[in-house]
């Protein structure tokens, strides 16, 4: 393996980012911060609304105890600023002048009403890259519609194909539309940086939550465009019937009911559990598919006699891509993840003990070697940014504080 | 528009996660050369299937039988004139071919290599066989994407493959940024399992910090504070609309739009916490209203009242979606043999973005002449000799 970076800089050191985003896109700037970019989170006085997104450290809601805020904003600096007032806008433009990237997730048009749309920002800094994440995008008839993770999951097509055919469509757990949009935003920003290197100009990236979901549907649109099939919900059974989820003695196993049929049935037979599946007619894949309910019920009787661990271990030895269906607790206790050092400690001023969270993904020197800092407290870096960097005098700073501008 | 036109990628990846990463690069002008072989180009890797065509647009294809010892020399020559090598095999495959990063670096010191395996290059599970949905089961998103604890279901698509793919493309761009500044290449180890786990961060922190094990709760709000927050059946066959209310203004909007002003006076629904506690009483009331309406009417009424709401769209709805159409989200690409492909573009756009130079997916070995003769300078005689001996095959 490659030796880690000698210093603690990361690949994007020197890149300056202003993060105006709430929970819809703050993960995108976390990725940039983890890779060494200097990210300043700009929150309204009192703190961003995403500080009230759970879960909360210790359980009770508190603006400095949101674990999701801590996770999405680690390695960032934090300042507060009222951009809805003239003086706040002027301060913001000073920051824009010194920055490479701004990421925002307001309703389309909001920045225009503040006089801070891309054209205005470009006039101040022609090299600025603006990434805008919104429910439906900056253009189109639905640009003004309200969105959230649930609305994106529905309008982007994920829900319709998830869940049981007998029940309602089902949203993926845990604000996945926001994460997906954030990943695309980070990719887009890096692309725009490269474009800027070529032509010297910034760009306005328009990222849609609806499209972010629609872009991660794997088989769904392919089958529609090529075969005119409208994929339906089929519970724990994979769309191509390659995988299904069956109960075990201690939970559920994710297994392949049709792969290498003879090996699999031989396995059941060795335990006297194959019932009629060894009969010749079941050799025909089309027949198996037609009678899938019977096949699965035989498998179900068999898997129920085993633990997940027994099945998982033997299946992997035979190169079947099976896996236990893990609870989050089991993921957090995974020996594999521990050995790879996936979970890291991040210092956090509240509580006195470091927070444990998933670490940066890439191995090979792309990231900061060690987390630089925890997520900022409300206005934690006001003095550093306003006084030291923008050169605002202490007296003026006190005045801005007193009128709640910062 | 061809932002990555000076980037050449040697692409060993197969199926979805890897090909999605290289598709993102190819979409923006990278010259992605997919290493194929007649022997392995079947199933999801058969060039004429819809699956292959979707994930491999804008790429080139060459045929090289890597199991043949002489293929290694050719591959090293290609690596020497490339910027990036991407692969998503089990960890031992590349080194078995004598193509570990250290071997590749010998011929190209600035080389960027991204290794996208299921579990990563190290750790006790490194050789595990895994697909996108396997990884979803391992990462906890399957158990939590369910109505209840008794029956885990998970997302209805291989979502984790997309996640790993976007991360893979991010890794390439960040490593290029670094190489442009320092001249140094990198070998990046990307585990799809970990990629999926980064998107389960808050749930994992519930365990790691709070020592709580989160349980599935259907379409109720996960970590945002919202109620009602659910999916409601509407008039017609399998028609649904989602509604998410995260403040009292939106709640008022919903009550008035539904013609049920009296809900505002009901103490059980007085605020978000109360509505959460009583969602089993509230949800049937909302459903009694939505079941009488068309899903798009519910969506329109609520959006006009300032309430986040949306029709649950199926594939056909998406293909006809006015918003997606207005944004040219889908694109038609002419395939020289197979006709026309309609595929999605990407969920972000910018002023100078254009798909005018996009191409449909390649036929097997379509770029053999270009790569072996023009790029690597093999003579016609060498080329036909390699072909005869089944190395270029």
For residue A349, what pLDDT is reported? 76
* Burial status of residue B334 (CB atoms within 10 A of its CB: 0-12, 13-18, 19 or more): exposed
Residue in A105, A198, A218 to test binding to B, most B beta-carbons within 10 Å:
A218
d(CA A147, nearest CA chain B) in Å: 5
Q: Answer yes or no: is pLDDT of A194 > 60.
A: yes
> Shortest Cα distance from B289 to chain A (angstroms)?
16
What is the per-residue pLDDT for A366?
Answer: 86
For residue A209, the chain B residue with the least C-alpha distance is B347
Q: Is B161 a catalytic residue?
A: yes
Pairing mode, if any, of strands A244-248 and A251-255? Answer: antiparallel
Give the residue on A whose Cα is nearest the Cα of B203.
A328
Which ranges in A98-162 belong to alpha helices (H)? Answer: 110-113, 118-124, 149-155
Residue of A nearest to B170 (CA): A187
At residue A350 the predicted structure's pLDDT band, cuts being 50, 70 and 90, is confident
Binning pLDDT at 50, 70 and 90, where does residue A6 land?
low
Choice among B27, B65, B83, B161 that is catalytic: B161
Closest Cβ opposite residue B209 in set A57, A139, A362: A57
What phi and psi values does residue B59 have, to the nearest 5 degrees? Answer: -105, 165
The mean-pLDDT minimum among A18-22, A311-315, B334-338, B351-355 falls in B334-338
Res A4: pLDDT: 40
Q: Is the pLDDT of residue A136 over 80?
A: yes
Tell which of A323, A335, A339, A367 to mutate to test the B interface (max B CBs under 10 Å): A323
Q: pLDDT grade, residue B239 (50/70/90)?
A: very high
pLDDT confidence of B309, banded at 50, 70, 90? Answer: very high
pLDDT of residue B44: 85
Is residue B168 predicted with pLDDT exceeding 50?
yes
In this complex, the residue of A2, A159, A191 whose CB is nearest that of residue B28 is A191
CA of A151, closest CA in chain B: separation in Å?
A: 5
Q: Structure tokens of A225? A: 């465009």
Chain B, nearest residue to A161 by Cα: B156
* pLDDT tens column, A195-247: 999 999 999 999 999 999 999 999 999 999 999 999 999 999 999 999 999 99
Q: What pLDDT was estimated at residue B1? A: 59
- In the block, residue with structure tokens 């043999």: B337
B191, pLDDT greater than 80: yes
Q: What number of CA atoms fall less than 13 Å from residue B382's CA on the CB side?
A: 12
A331 sits in which H/E element? helix A328-332
Q: Is A302 in a helix, a strand, or coil?
A: helix
pLDDT at residue number A5? 45
User: What is the pLDDT, as a whole number, of residue B9?
Assistant: 98
Tokens of A299: 């498998």
Q: Does B94 touch chain A (CB under 8 A)?
A: no
Mean pLDDT of A378-397: 96
pLDDT of B381 > 90? The answer is: yes
Residue of B nearest to A164 (CA): B153
Averaged pLDDT, A303-318: 97
Q: How far is B231 from chain A (nearest CA, A)?
A: 7
Contact A1 B187 (CB under 8 A): yes
Residue A372 pLDDT? 84
Closest-CA distance of chain B to residue A336, Å: 5
Confidence of residue B237 (pLDDT cuts 50, 70, 90): very high
Provide, as residue numbers in chain B, all residues whose Cβ is less than 8 Å from the Cβ of A177: none
What are the backbone angles phi and psi of residue B101, rounded to the nearest 5°?
-55, -40
What is residue A98's predicted lDDT score, i.e. its pLDDT? 97
Give the residue ranges of DSSP H helices in chain B: 17-27, 50-55, 71-80, 92-96, 101-107, 132-139, 141-144, 159-182, 192-198, 201-208, 248-257, 272-277, 279-290, 295-304, 315-319, 322-326, 368, 380-388
Instruction: Say if the Cβ atoms of A59 and B50 lie within 8 Å.
Output: no
Rounded to a whole number of angstroms, the distance from the CA of A190 to the nearest CA of chain B is 6
Q: Is the pLDDT reported for residue A69 higher than 90? A: yes
Residue contact A217–B157, C-beta within 8 A: yes
Please give the angle made by the CA atoms of B190, B195 and B196, to the nearest 5 degrees.
150
Contact A206 B350 (CB under 8 A): yes
> In chain B, positions 114-133, which contact chain A (CB-CB < 8 Å)?
119-125, 128-133
The residues that bridge with A77 in the sheet, in sequence order, are A40
Taking CA–CA distances from A31, the nearest residue in chain B reads: B170
Interface of B with A in 13-52 (CB under 8 A): 16, 24, 28, 50-51
Task: Say whether A208 and B177 touch across the interface (CB within 8 A).
Answer: no
Global confidence as pTM: 0.98
Nearest by CB to residue A175, choosing from B3, B169, B222, is: B222
Q: Give the DSSP H/E element, type plus range, for residue B68.
A: none
Query: Could you report the per-residue pLDDT of A261-300, keeping only the tens digit for each?
Result: 999 999 999 999 999 999 999 999 999 999 999 999 999 9
- A31 contacts in B (CB within 8 Å)? 170
Select from A247, A174, A157 the least CA-distant residue to A209: A157
B115: closest CA of chain A, how far (Å): 10
Residue A399: pLDDT band by 50, 70, 90 thresholds? very high
Residues of B in contact with A326 (CB under 8 A): 137-140, 143
Inspect the interface and report whether the beta carbons of B120 and A340 lie closer than 8 Å: yes
The gap from C-alpha B265 to its chain's centroid, in whole angstroms, comes to: 46
CB < 8 Å to A340, chain B: 120, 122-123, 191, 194
Cross-chain CB nearest to A245 (options B3, B101, B152) = B152
**B58 falls in which pLDDT band (50, 70, 90)?**
very high
Name the pLDDT band for A8 (thresholds 50, 70, 90): low
Flag whether the ipTM exceeds 0.85. Answer: yes
Name every residue whose Cβ is closer than 8 Å to that of residue A93 and which is 6 or more positions away in sequence: A116, A121, A124
B192-208: average pLDDT:
98
Q: Which of B152, B207, B308 sits opposite A148 (nearest CB)?
A: B308
Give yes or no for a contact between B185 and B109, defined as CB atoms under 8 angstroms apart.
yes
The pLDDT of residue A95 is above 80: yes
Selected residue of B154, B308, B348 to mutate for chain A interface (largest A Cβ count, 10 A): B348
Of B133, B134, B310, the CB nearest to A151: B310
């Amino acid at each position: 393996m490659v030796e880690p970076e000698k210093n603690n800089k990361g690949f994007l050191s020197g890149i300056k980012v202003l993060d105006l985003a709430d929970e819809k896109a703050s993960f995108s700037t976390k990725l940039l911060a983890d890779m060494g970019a200097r990210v300043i989170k700009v929150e309204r006085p009192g703190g961003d609304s995403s500080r009230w997104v759970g879960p909360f450290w210790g359980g009770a809601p508190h603006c400095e105890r949101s674990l999701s805020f801590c996770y999405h904003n680690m390695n960032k600096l934090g300042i507060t600023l009222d951009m809805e007032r003239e003086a706040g806008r002027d301060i913001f433009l000073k920051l824009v002048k010194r920055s490479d990237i701004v990421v925002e997730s307001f309703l389309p048009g909001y920045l225009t009403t503040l006089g801070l749309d891309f054209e205005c920002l470009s006039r101040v800094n022609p090299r600025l890259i603006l990434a805008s994440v919104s429910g439906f995008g900056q253009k189109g008839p639905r640009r003004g519609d309200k969105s959230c993770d649930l609305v994106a999951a529905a309008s982007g097509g994920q829900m319709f194909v998830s869940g049981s055919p007998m029940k309602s469509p089902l949203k993926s757990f845990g604000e996945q539309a926001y994460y997906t949009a954030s990943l695309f935003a980070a990719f887009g920003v890096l692309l725009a940086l490269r474009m800027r290197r070529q032509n010297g100009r910034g760009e306005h990236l328009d990222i849609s939550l609806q499209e972010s979901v629609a872009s991660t549907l794997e088989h769904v649109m392919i089958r529609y465009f090529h075969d005119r099939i409208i994929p339906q919900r089929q519970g724990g059974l994979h769309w191509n019937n390659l995988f299904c989820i069956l109960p075990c003695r201690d939970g559920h196993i994710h297994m392949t009911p049709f792969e290498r049929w003879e090996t699999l049935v031989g396995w059941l037979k060795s335990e006297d559990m194959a019932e009629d599946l060894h009969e010749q007619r079941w050799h025909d894949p089309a027949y198996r598919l037609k009678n899938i309910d019977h096949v699965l019920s035989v498998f179900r009787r068999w898997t129920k006699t085993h633990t997940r661990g027994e099945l998982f271990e033997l299946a992997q030895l035979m190169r079947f891509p099976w896996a236990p269906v893990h609870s989050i607790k089991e993921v957090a206790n995974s020996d594999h993840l521990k050995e790879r050092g996936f979970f890291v400690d991040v210092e956090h001023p509240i509580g006195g003990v470091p927070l444990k969270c998933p670490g940066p993904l890439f191995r090979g020197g792309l990231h900061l070697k060690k987390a630089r800092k925890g997520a900022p407290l409300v206005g934690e870096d006001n003095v550093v940014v306003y006084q030291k960097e923008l050169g605002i005098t202490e007296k003026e700073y006190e005045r801005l504080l007193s009128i709640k501008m910062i | 528009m061809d932002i990555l036109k000076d980037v050449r990628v040697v692409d060993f990846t197969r199926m979805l996660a890897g090909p999605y990463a290289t598709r993102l690069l190819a979409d923006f002008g990278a010259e992605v050369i997919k290493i194929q072989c007649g022997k392995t180009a079947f199933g999801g890797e058969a060039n004429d299937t819809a699956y292959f065509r979707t994930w491999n647009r804008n790429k080139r294809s060459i045929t090289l039988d890597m199991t043949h010892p002489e293929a290694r020399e050719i591959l090293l020559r290609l690596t020497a004139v490339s910027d990036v090598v991407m692969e998503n095999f089990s960890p031992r495959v590349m080194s078995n071919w004598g193509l570990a990063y250290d071997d590749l670096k010998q011929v190209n010191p600035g080389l960027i290599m991204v290794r996208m395996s299921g579990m990563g290059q190290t750790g006790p599970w490194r050789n595990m066989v895994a697909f996108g949905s396997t990884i979803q089961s391992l990462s906890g998103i399957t158990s939590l994407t369910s109505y209840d604890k008794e029956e885990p279901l998970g997302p209805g698509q291989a979502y984790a493959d997309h996640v790993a793919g976007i991360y893979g493309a991010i890794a390439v761009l960040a490593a290029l940024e670094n190489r442009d500044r320092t001249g140094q290449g990198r070998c990046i180890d990307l585990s799809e399992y970990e990629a999926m786990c980064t998107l389960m961060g808050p749930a994992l922190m519930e365990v790691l910090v709070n020592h709580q094990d989160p349980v599935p709760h259907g379409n109720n709000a996960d970590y945002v504070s919202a109620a009602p927050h659910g999916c409601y059946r509407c008039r017609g066959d399998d028609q649904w609309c989602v509604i998410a209310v995260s403040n009292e203004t939106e709640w008022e909007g919903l009550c008035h739009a539904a013609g049920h002003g009296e809900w505002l006076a009901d103490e059980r629904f007085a605020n978000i916490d109360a509505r959460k506690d009583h969602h089993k009483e509230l949800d049937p009331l909302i459903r009694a209203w939505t079941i009488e309406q068309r899903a798009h009417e519910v969506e329109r009424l609520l959006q006009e009242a300032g309430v986040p709401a949306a029709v649950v769209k199926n594939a056909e709805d998406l293909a006809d979606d006015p918003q997606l159409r207005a944004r040219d989200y889908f694109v038609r690409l002419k395939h020289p043999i197979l006709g026309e492909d309609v595929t999605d573009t990407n969920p972000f756009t910018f002023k100078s973005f254009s798909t005018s130079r996009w191409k449909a997916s390649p036929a097997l070995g379509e770029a053999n002449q270009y790569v072996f003769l023009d790029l690597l300078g093999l003579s016609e005689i060498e080329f036909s000799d390699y072909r005869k001996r089944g190395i270029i095959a």
